[in-house]
């Protein structure tokens, strides 16, 4: 098993937000500012590049307002690409749209044949694939995806997404091969046996969705106690503004597919 394969990356795929992003799914009904969203997305892409990743930026898809969140229709574990089956009806076409781009990058792709799975419900560690059942990911999808991941030397495991939380990774992230950053609510569910868990400070639970990219932990601005805690734990953090992203129930992991190519 390659240590650090869960956060050592050479490449990433992002998609530009379209003008239609203002009509993206939002549990609060708040619309994102199109121009601010584009600015924040551009900074996010540049931050990935500064972390040592070659970023493939795909054109906007106006027909799919949420298509900027490329993590949900696909998964890129162990140098491969798996096209998933998103759980929201308005996003069904995103998988077909991204498949040719991934095939161009990877050469071949695997397509999930049944069930529903959003990539935002999948936390990959070096050894496991923690798959959260949610409104977007069902058991049939888990059962279809599991053998594919097993062939890539991951052990799939069902976990329960906290009630009222859109995606499993809304409440947790991977910091290194042995450490997970999670909300107290999710930690209390007992889904992280064998891992060291750092909990989000009280009132900063929304900081749980961050991404480790090589030697950098990319987190959202506005969470000073989180940054202090991570810095004190030996992680190098960079904070980026993603307030417009959050208006559409999105987070930092949602906006990129990160992977390693030889």
User: Which single residue is written with the structure tokens 């900074």?
Assistant: 43
- CA-wise closest residue to 67 among 9, 21, 135, 110: 21
Element (H, E) at 102: helix 92-106
pTM for the predicted model, two decimal places: 0.96
pLDDT beneath 70: ranges in the chain: 1
How many distinct structural domains can be found in the chain? 1
Has residue 71 been placed in a domain?
Answer: yes
Domain CATH code at residue 52: 3.75.10.10
Asked if residue 35 belongs to a domain, the reply is: yes
Is 191 contained in some domain?
Answer: no
Verify whether residue 167 is a known catalytic residue: yes
Are 172 and 188 spatial neighbours (Cβ–Cβ below 8 Å)? no
pLDDT at residue number 1 = 56
Mean pLDDT over each residue of the chain, to the nearest integer: 95
122 occurs within a structural domain: yes
- Residue 113 CA to residue 31 CA, distance in Å, equals 33
Task: Show the domain range for 30.
Answer: 11-171+248-259
Residue 115, domain member (yes or no): yes
Which member of 14, 41, 76, 167 is catalytic? 167
β pairing state of 128-133 and 122-124: antiparallel
Strand residues in the chain grouped as ranges (E) = 11-15, 54-58, 74-75, 82-83, 110-111, 122-124, 128-133, 155-160, 172-176, 179-182, 196-199, 211-213, 216-220, 237-240, 257-259
Q: Is residue 201 part of a domain?
A: no
Does residue 224 lie in a domain region?
no
Q: What is the pLDDT of residues 123-150, one digit of tens each?
A: 999 999 999 998 899 999 999 999 999 9
Which tokens in the block code for residue 232? Answer: 């004190």
Separation of alpha carbons 97 and 106, rounded Å: 15
> In angstroms, what CA-CA distances link 205 with 150, 199, 209?
32, 9, 9
Q: Which tokens in the block code for residue 146?
A: 């599991």
The candidate with the shortest Cα–Cα distance to 112, out of 129, 87, 89, is 87
Strand partners, 240: 220
Residue 123 near residue 71 (C-beta atoms within 8 A): no
pLDDT of res. 135: 86
Q: What is the pLDDT of residue 245?
A: 95
Task: Please check whether residue 69 lies inside any domain of the structure.
Answer: yes
């Amino acid at each position: 098993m390659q240590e650090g394969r869960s956060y050592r990356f050479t490449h990433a795929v992002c998609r530009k937000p379209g003008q239609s992003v203002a009509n993206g799914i939002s549990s609060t009904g708040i619309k994102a500012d199109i121009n601010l969203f584009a600015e924040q997305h551009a900074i996010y892409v540049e931050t990935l590049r500064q972390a040592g990743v070659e970023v493939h930026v795909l054109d906007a898809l106006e027909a799919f307002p949420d298509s900027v969140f490329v993590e949900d229709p696909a998964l890129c574990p162990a140098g491969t690409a798996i096209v998933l089956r998103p759980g929201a009806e308005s996003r069904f076409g995103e998988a077909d749209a991204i498949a040719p781009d991934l095939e161009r990058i990877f050469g071949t792709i695997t397509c999930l044949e049944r069930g529903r799975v959003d990539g935002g419900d999948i936390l990959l560690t070096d050894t496991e694939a923690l798959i959260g059942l949610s409104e977007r990911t069902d058991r049939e999808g888990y059962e279809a995806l599991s053998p594919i991941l097993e062939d890539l030397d991951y052990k799939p495991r069902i976990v329960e997404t906290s009630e009222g939380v859109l995606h499993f990774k809304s409440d947790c992230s991977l910091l290194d091969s042995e450490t997970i950053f999670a909300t107290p609510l999710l930690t209390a569910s007992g889904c992280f046996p064998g891992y060291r868990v750092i909990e989000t400070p009280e009132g900063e639970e929304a900081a749980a969705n961050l991404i480790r990219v090589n030697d950098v932990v990319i987190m959202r601005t506005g969470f000073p106690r989180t940054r202090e805690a991570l810095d004190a734990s030996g992680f190098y953090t960079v904070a980026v503004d993603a307030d417009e992203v959050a208006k559409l129930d999105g987070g930092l992991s949602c906006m990129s597919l990160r992977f390693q190519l030889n």
